[in-house]
Amino acid sequence: MVTKFISKRNLEFLLYEVFDAESLTQFKYYQEHNRKIFDMVLSAASKLAENLLYPIFEEMDRNQPELIDGQVKVHPTVKIILREFGNGGWIASRASFEKDGEQLPHLIADVCDFIFQAANYSAATYAGLTSGASHLIESFADTELNNIYVPKMRAGKWQGTMALTEPEAGSSLSDVATQAEPVDQDYYLIKGQKIFISAGDHDCAENIVHLMLAKIKGAPAGAKGISLFIIPKKRVAEDGKLVDNDVMTSGIYHKLGYRGCPIAQLSLGDNNNCRGWLVGKPHNGLKYMFQMMNEARIGVGLGATAMATAAYYTALEYTKTRCQGRKISQKDPAQPQIPIIEHADVKRMLLFQRAIAEGSLSLILQCSKYVDLVKVLPDEEKEKYHLLLELLTPIAKSYPSEMGIQAISQGLQCLGGSGYCDDYALEQYYRDCRIHPIHEGTTAIQGMDLLGRKVVMQKGRAIMLYANELGKTIKAANKFSELEKPADQLAKALADLQKVTQHLLGVAQTKGPEYFLADATLYLEFFGIIAIAWQWLVQGITAQKALNGNEKDVDRIFYQGKLFTLKYFYGYELPKIMALAKCLMENDGLTVEMTTELF
């Protein structure tokens, strides 16, 4: 029996009741779809997750990838997974019909990814990376390159990767040193080192296609000189056969978690025979890569949310069956012990996990809907959603990543000593989830992106649009007497957000960028809590509306549970912004001024 790792009811609630996925089918681009198709797709995704991914979740962790004779060996089921994902159209779920894709709304495709990631994050990564890489080729590479790579990747035969990090260029991408030398051919000769490349090599795909950042010889220094290349492990020779492309796997890392997927170290051009094909124009690589990176960032947030969700259901199941202790007011040792879920503190820990997981998912699906709207709306209308998406991407990446760790840790705590042992999955989730605040831009990088770029872009237009969205939600909530209190709290939080933002913009003016951005990570956290509070109110409106109608009992329980979790978030999580606001308002530059020698 598969342990529950997601709630189908909650997915339906978010997709159909909160974000009205069906409404997307009124647009031409999505008109071939309908609710029935969506349901079939979701059901197929669930089956795949239950039958193929979840059963090897622990096995992939216990049997880590190995590097043997220059070849990374992974769990053999990865081959089946990639093929199934290829054949089932999952790698091309968001691609257009024209490109042999499924042309699914992002809302639906993202929920499918969520299901896959909740079942087995490592296993889902192979297809996810391939999907992102193929989309990048489709978007910016010429037809010839498209024809060589995209069909093979979307069939699950060739693995895609994003190869950015180098030994001396991690967070500082502008320091990429991999070189591309023009050789009067349609390709360049590549030389360099890449590290931490997820799925960077393995034996379950016929080829590995790296979407790689490198610098063309003589390019300008820094980020402006970065170009994007396709660098396959094996290139297609004139006779159509695959031949070695001088990409060597020089190592794999032994990781805390996320062990089902190898992270490789690559050495390119050791024999001066590594060919790379330029994608798009020279020196535009970072701009192109940001498309994939933005998708990947939301993907990381989604993965973190998925793990937190799976961990929550594992913990929930345990607390319902494990008996220990008695009610505080009923200590008679002759009475039987009670399920620990009946203890208030255990309920608090469960509510915390649920509030994080379901709040994060709501925010991410809000972003998914924006992606869809950007796709289907006319130019003049789409700009708004584009800006909101830009603003919320660092939040959608970092809030689930950071808080997912806390949520999973609380899940582990629910199991006590058993949570610390590998008889239960919690310890694995605790290890797996720690990658999220690191990969695809650390939390600090997200903070800088939010405050240093997104908040200030177009004279603060994005944050103004965001305030409008929150205002609309507050207004809608105020129609329900039950929601007046949280609506009021959100209005106050929004005012705090505006005050703190204004204050920091003032700091930028008076004290310069170092001071302005010193606590960008705290600002990110502050912003994130308010964003999740917003999403809880969005969900609350739908739930309250449904409760006021005449719903079935089982649905009433679902909606009441939602409203309790909303109250939890507003009672226990939202107040954390008070401390953050104080800290951000009264920041006196401590971390700028403390010198290294004082540590």
The residue among 68 and 598 lying less far from a second copy, judged by its C-beta, is 598
CB of 561 to a second copy, least distance (A): 4
DSSP of 349-371: HHHHHHHHHHHHHHHHHHHHHHH
Binding to a second copy (CB under 8 A): which residues in 334-393?
334, 337, 339, 341-348, 350-351, 354
The residue among 28 and 254 lying less far from a second copy, judged by its C-beta, is 254
Binding to a second copy (CB under 8 A): which residues in 191-220?
195-196
Nearest to 6 by CA among 402, 299, 358: 358
Binding to a second copy (CB under 8 A): which residues in 476-515?
512-514
* Vertex 241 angle, CA 187 and 204, to 5°: 95
Strand, helix or coil at 31?
Answer: coil
Contacts of 223 (CB under 8 A, 6+ apart): 173, 174, 286
Q: Is 578 in the site for a second copy (CB under 8 A)?
A: yes
* Pairing of the two strands 179-182 and 158-163: unpaired
Given candidates 218, 333, 378, 549, which one binds a second copy under the rule CB under 8 A? 333
Given candidates 171, 272, 458, 502, which one binds a second copy under the rule CB under 8 A? 171
Nearest to 228 by CA among 287, 269, 148, 173: 287
DSSP of 551-575: --HHHHHHHHHHHHHHHHIIIIITT
Return d(Cα 215, Cα 201) in angstroms, integer.
23
CB of 449 to a second copy, least distance (A): 13
* CB 395 within 8 Å of CB 531: yes
How many residues interact with a second copy (rule CB under 8 A)?
A: 105
CB of 255 to a second copy, least distance (A): 5
Q: Is 564 in the site for a second copy (CB under 8 A)?
A: yes
* Vertex 292 angle, CA 139 and 19, to 5°: 95
Contacts of 363 (CB under 8 A, 6+ apart): 301, 392, 395, 396, 399, 400, 531, 532, 535
Q: Print the binding letters for residues 418-457 with a second copy: x by CB under 8 A, - otherwise.
A: -xxxxx---x--xx--xx-xxx--xxx--x----x-----
Return d(Cα 319, Cα 415) in angstroms, integer.
7
Q: Is 239 in the site for a second copy (CB under 8 A)?
A: no
Q: Print the binding letters for residues 83-112 with a second copy: x by CB under 8 A, - otherwise.
A: ------------------------------
The residue among 88 and 359 lying less far from a second copy, judged by its C-beta, is 359
Q: Is 473 in the site for a second copy (CB under 8 A)?
A: no
Q: Which stretch binds a second copy (CB under 8 A): 107-115, 148-156, 237-245, 323-331?
A: 323-331
CB of 62 to a second copy, least distance (A): 10
Q: Print the binding letters for residues 261-290 with a second copy: x by CB under 8 A, - otherwise.
A: --x---------------------------
Q: Is 166 in the site for a second copy (CB under 8 A)?
A: no
Q: Is 177 in the site for a second copy (CB under 8 A)?
A: no
Given candidates 4, 386, 545, 567, which one binds a second copy under the rule CB under 8 A? 567
Binding to a second copy (CB under 8 A): which residues in 22-81?
none
The two three-digit tokens of residue 458, written as one number: 């177009």
Given candidates 31, 43, 468, 591, which one binds a second copy under the rule CB under 8 A? 591
Return d(Cα 337, Cα 97) in angstroms, integer.
58
Return d(Cα 447, Cα 398) in angstroms, integer.
9
* CB 89 within 8 Å of CB 102: yes
Q: Is 599 in the site for a second copy (CB under 8 A)?
A: yes
> What letter represents residue 178's amino acid?
T
